Amino acid sequence: MNARILLPRFALALCVLTSLLAPRVARAQLRSPWDGLSIAATDAPYTCPEPPPFEKTINAESYYIDAHHSIIDPVKKAAEEKATEAPTHLGQWSGEAADAWLTKGSRAAATCVYSLLDAAARAHAWSGEMPTGQGHYEQKWLLAGVSVAYLKVRNSGVGTPDQQKNIQKWFSSVADRVTDYVDTKKVNPDSDAWNNHRYWAGLAVAAAGIAADKKSDFAFGVLSYKVGVDQIQRDGVLPREMARAGRALHYHLYALAPLIMIAELAEANGLDLYTYNGGAFHRLVNLCIAGLRDPEIFAKATGVQQDIVVGQYSGADIGWAVPYIKRFPNPQLSAWIAQAGTIRFWQWGGLPPGADL
């Protein structure tokens, strides 16, 4: 880690911990939304894939070809998917196995999560300095997915002390890379340290922080939430996401998801982020609901038709609503969840918090 960044980060973490975190959080071991679940262990079989090939870096390039980062070049997209296949598979496979533990109580599935993540940890997988901006993005998405998967199984009793130690150490090393990247970019107010990428970084580092009981990382996640919510306008707009032209609605949803996930991690630790800044977060939710009903709202604001088809929502589009309606019931969101083919999304570890098991 860059030594010049280290001291300011610790000072920031101390400030956040003392001013934002509840006193109980600062003292107690960090918890996750899955810690209170009672899962009956079973012998349900689970076929665990072999770990993907590990590398230290991810040499991927962006697939957008316009100034708004809204138009996808299919050739570049295919190249990006090929370059990120291995870390994506690790995130997908660990999340699927973790959800099999939650829904079926499969010891074999929980063992699979540990096996995959311990192998990655011993290889120091994707913990290096990324050669491209896209590589940094993939690094944090990987960390978010695998950290949440781990949190789902950490109380299963199948992991060994060595596995626990290896995995937590690996998470912390990758989290350092993620926060280093944000720290180097946040001096530029127009950088990706101030848009949805920051919120995803916050989710990744907060989840890793809970896994390793590293409160400075959890504090980074809380601060990232604040950065996002502070940008929400009176009409619910996130200006940096509205600038994404035909993908403005998509990126409002994509920014909303990690903010909700961070809020859920905070709730598990006695910290209510939903009321932060006068509950401004709910304005973003309401705008996204309006946009899903009628994407023309975003088309008029951007001058470009949106790339979301009404009623055809993926887990990434609507899975965030699962924990939200548990706290803030909304019939429209409930209907969309019921109609969705899936509520899972690997970048937040599969099933979202609050999913019916």
What's the whole-number average pLDDT of the chain? 94
Q: How far apart are CA 215 and CA 195, in angstroms?
A: 23
Distance CA 198, CA 178 (A): 10
- Domain presence at residue 313: yes
Among 56, 53, 200, 198, which residue's Cα sits nearest to residue 125?
56
Q: Would you state the structure tokens that stand for residue 132, as one six-digit string?
A: 């491209």
List for the chain the helix, strand, coil content (%; round to 5): 60, 0, 35
The pLDDT-based confidence of 1 (bands split at 50, 70, 90) is very low
Amino acid letter, residue 313: Y
Confidence of residue 265 (pLDDT cuts 50, 70, 90): very high
Residue 7 lies in a domain: no
In this structure, is residue 355 part of a structural domain? no
Confirm if 72 and 127 have CB atoms less than 8 A apart.
Answer: no
pLDDT in tens, 71-125: 999 999 999 999 999 999 999 999 999 999 999 999 999 999 999 999 999 999 9
User: Chain-centre distance of CA 238, in angstroms?
Assistant: 18
- The pLDDT tens digits for 197-253 are 999 999 999 999 999 999 999 999 999 999 999 999 999 999 999 999 999 999 999
Tell me whether residue 149 is in a domain. Answer: yes
72 phi, psi to nearest 5 deg: -95, 130
- 12 located within any domain: no
Q: Is 294 domain-assigned? A: yes
Q: How many domains does the chain have?
A: 1
Enumerate helices (H) and strands (E) in the chain, giving the number of each.
Answer: 17, 0
* Structural domain contains residue 18: no
Chain mean position to CA 69: 21
Residue 333 lies in a domain: yes
Report, as an integer, the average pLDDT of 343-348.
98
Range of the domain at 200: 53-348
Residue 79 sits in a domain of what CATH number?
1.50.10.100
